[in-house]
Amino acid sequence: MTQAERTERLGADEQAPAQAARPGGFLGLRQWGRDGRGSTTWRRGLVVAALAVAVGALLAFHAEVPNGVGNLGSLLETFLPWLGLAVPALLVPALLRRSATALIALLLPAALWANLFGGLVTDKSGGKADWTVVSHNVAADNTDVPGTVRGLVDSGAQIVALQELAGRALHAYETGLAGAYPYHTVQGTVGLWSKYPIGEVSPVDLRMGWTRAFRAQVTTPQGPLAVYVAHLPSVRLKAEGGFTVHQRDVSAQALGDAIQAEPLKKVLLLGDLNGTMNDRSLAPVTSQMRSAQGAAGDGFGFSWPSSFPMARIDQIMSRGGLQPVDSRTLPRDGSDHLPVAAAFRY
């Protein structure tokens, strides 16, 4: 062996112990045995595993969370899809702790979330539509009414429902939309604009003392359609009272009763319901109707708040064989809500 070969071999022997001491793979994932304190991969990360099981329990049994204290059940169900963020958040400490127990426990919330919401993240739109509808809470303090009017006209919708119409802005909507929509009706603070004739308009009593919902019959080229426009009472999150929803729930029951008594087969509901399809308190309505977003949307379609949408509280729903073929949100305007649109086959 030459001097050069002996020198090279000696250098390699000196580096070998240092290399052997290094953790193998990303985050030392090849060293999943006992740690310095003697804990095995099955005994490490028990707190992370417990948190994963707790998240899974909330996803699986959210309907069992009581509303008796601060309406916690409805609050949870309003933001239920966001529980999915707990999975990647807990995955990081599970890997850092090199805990097989935590990783296996994380499969529970991951599988439950996929079962509940996995179908929403794929594009389900497709097929020929007869007409498109838009629903928008334009906000009483809208900062760009002309821009909102332009967006509604540019949407190409044949039927437009607006909520929170008030003051001088109402005149701006009536004049701005008149050219595109020859038929319209306004009842209280909600209104309907249509390219098709509107008839048989009647308020729906939401038990609030003023009009925030009505029913109208729209005569489409394919046949008659009952259209309900509604703006259910707002909810509040208060330190002393929790999630305050009593008036909203009373109004939801009244709206559900009106829809149940509807004589026409084909029915549309457009409006700001101040609640999501997951919220059990809206069951008087949601149990009868089909969400366009759930049937033909692409993603969750969160509509509020417009600056960072976190919940789908603006709804387009149908029953009686109306087939949603597309559902989406429209670009942000001067409102704190995003407009929502859906296309239907009659």
Percent share of the chain, pLDDT over 90: 82
The pLDDT value given to residue 234: 87
Q: Which of 145, 82, 72 is nearest to 116 (CA)?
A: 82
Sheet holding 190-194, edge to edge: 183-187, 190-194, 159-163, 131-137, 340-345, 323-329
Which residues lie closer than 8 Å to 249 by C-beta, 6 or more apart? 281
Tokens of 247: 């008036």
Q: What is the CATH number of domain 127-345?
A: 3.60.10.10
Single out the residue of 108, 106, 100, 103 nearest to residue 39, CA to CA: 100
Q: How far is CA 340 from CA 66, 246, 258, 321, in A?
A: 31, 26, 23, 21
Q: Tell me what pLDDT residue 11 has.
A: 52
pLDDT classification of 278: cutoffs 50, 70, 90: very high
Is it the case that residue 69 has pLDDT exceeding 80? no
Tell me the domain boundaries of the chain: 37-118, 127-345
Which pLDDT value is given to residue 22? Answer: 47
β-bridge mates for residue 165, sequence order = none
Mean pLDDT along residues 301-308: 97
- Does residue 24 register a pLDDT over 60? no
User: 126: burial class by Cβ within 10 Å (0-12, 13-18, 19+)?
Assistant: exposed
pLDDT at 39 (0 to 100): 81
* Torsion sign, CA atoms 310, 316, 319, 323: negative
Model confidence at 79, pLDDT cuts 50, 70, 90, reads very high
Confidence grade of residue 9 (pLDDT, cut at 50, 70, 90): low
Cα radius of gyration rounded to whole Å, the chain: 28
**Helix, strand or coil, per DSSP, at residue 299:** coil
pLDDT in tens, 130-182: 999 999 999 999 999 999 999 999 999 999 999 999 989 999 999 999 999 99
Residue 342 parent element (H or E): strand 340-345
Alpha-carbon distance of 301 to 313, in angstroms, equals: 10
Residue whose pair of structure tokens reads 């009686």 in the numeric block:
320
Q: What is the pLDDT of residues 198-238, one digit of tens each?
A: 999 999 999 999 999 999 999 999 999 999 999 999 887 65
How far apart (Å, rounded) are the C-alpha atoms in residues 137 and 306? 11
**pLDDT score for 33:** 72
Q: Is the pLDDT higher at 17 or at 342?
A: 342
pLDDT of residue 32: 76
Report which of residues 174 and 34 the model is more confident about: 174
Beta bridge partners of 89: none
